Amino acid sequence: MLLWRLLNDSLRSVNIAICDLSYHDLETPLTGQFCWNDGQQGPRPGILLIHGGAGLDAHAREQACRYAALGYAVLACDMFGDGIAGDKERVMACLLALRDDPDLLIRRGRAGLAALAGCHWQLVMYGRALHGFTHRPAVPGAMPGVAYDRLADERSFAAARAFLAEALAP
């Protein structure tokens, strides 16, 4: 288990515990990152975080820690399978397979949810925001269809916080 210290203007210093979590989708081994606020006592509500097209990368892991700092137990799931992220050809093959087989896409998400138990969910779309809109290093034009969007990032994080506060209220 690793500890990650989050320093942020809106959050005091928080120790985030991080560990790899292995699980399966049928015969496919998957390894996600599970993280939580190590200083918080008692049970926590859970969030399943699904990574972007690059796989379970540093950005997805950082986003999981960002939500863990708010008091949630977060599983940044693996939609591709062990050993795929970082291998461009295998990543593209997985993305196409998930795009072309909605049942596979849903099953992979449910495999991650099974590690957290039942949940409420919501889908919010942001017009004119491109893929990777929460990924600060994404440079407009560097990769077609991918760019950071500060406003969409802020709005999506605020919407997620509001949804979670409502869905998980006592």
Task: State how many domains the chain has.
Answer: 2
Query: Residue 27 is encoded by which pair of tokens?
Result: 């015969």
How much is the mean pLDDT over the chain?
84
Specify whether 115 is located in the same domain as 141. no
Q: Is the pLDDT of residue 162 over 60?
A: yes
Q: Which residue has the higher pLDDT, 12 or 25?
A: 25
Q: Residue 40: which domain range?
A: 2-119
Are residues 78 and 147 both part of a single domain?
Answer: no
* Same structural domain, 113 and 131: no
41 and 106 share one domain: yes
Task: Give me the CATH number covering residue 113.
Answer: 3.40.50.1820
Do residue 134 and residue 115 come from a single domain?
no
- Whether 15 and 98 map to the same domain: the answer is yes
Task: Say if residue 47 is in the same domain as residue 115.
Answer: yes
Half-sphere exposure for 88 (CA within 13 Å, toward CB): 0
Instruction: Give per-residue pLDDT as tens, 143-157.
Output: 777 889 999 999 999
Same domain for 87 and 58, yes or no, is yes
28-66 tens-digit pLDDT: 999 999 999 888 887 788 899 999 888 898 999 999 999
Which distant-in-sequence residues (6+ apart) come within 8 Å of 18 by Cβ? 1, 2, 3, 4, 33, 34, 35, 61, 65
Dist CA 108 CA 55 (whole Å)? 13
| pTM check: above 0.75 | no
pLDDT at 170: 63
pLDDT at 60: 92
Could you tell me if 114 and 131 lie in one domain? no
User: Do 130 and 101 share a domain, yes or no?
Assistant: no
Rounded to a whole number of angstroms, the CA Rg of the chain reads 16
